[in-house]
Amino acid sequence: MDADDPPRFVLEDLTVGVHACGFGRTDDGETFAFRVRGHLLHLEVYRRGYESEVPEQADVVATAECEITDVDLTDERSMTAVVRDAVARAEPVDPDRDGLTLRALLTRIGAAIPTGRPSPDARAPRPDGRTPD
C-alpha cells in the first residue's frame, strides 16, 4: 500500500477451521485480531501506535463477539465476511478501565492470601507424631 492509498479492510493472515484465527487492518487503519472459540468469534481492535510487539489488554479500543454456528469455518470467503461484519459491529471499550481482567485480579488476590499450607521447607511430622531431625 502506498502512502497515498486510503486505508481499507485487509485480512493479513487467516487460518480457517474449527480454531480459526487471524489478524488484519480495519478501514480506519487500526489493527485487529480474532479467534474462534467454540461457537463464538472473538475480535479485538487495537489502538494506533501501540508500542509493543504484541498488543496488551490496555491497547484494545473495541471488541466484538459473533455467533458462528451457521458459518462454514473452512471457507476463506465465509470467514472473511464474518470477520468484516465483526469489525463493523465492534463496540468501543470503556477508556477508563484499567485493563485488569477478573482472572488476573483473582490471581493477584490469591497470591496475597496465605493458604495455611506449610512451606515446602517445613518438616512434616511422621506418622508416629515425632518431627524428623
For residue 115, the model assigns a pLDDT of 66
pLDDT greater than 60 at residue 107: yes
Quote the distance between the C-alpha of residue 93 and its chain's center.
Answer: 14
For residue 48, the model assigns a pLDDT of 86
Q: Which residue has the higher pLDDT, 127 or 87?
A: 87
pLDDT greater than 60 at residue 99: no
pLDDT tens for residues 19-56?
Answer: 999 999 999 889 999 999 999 999 999 998 877 788 88
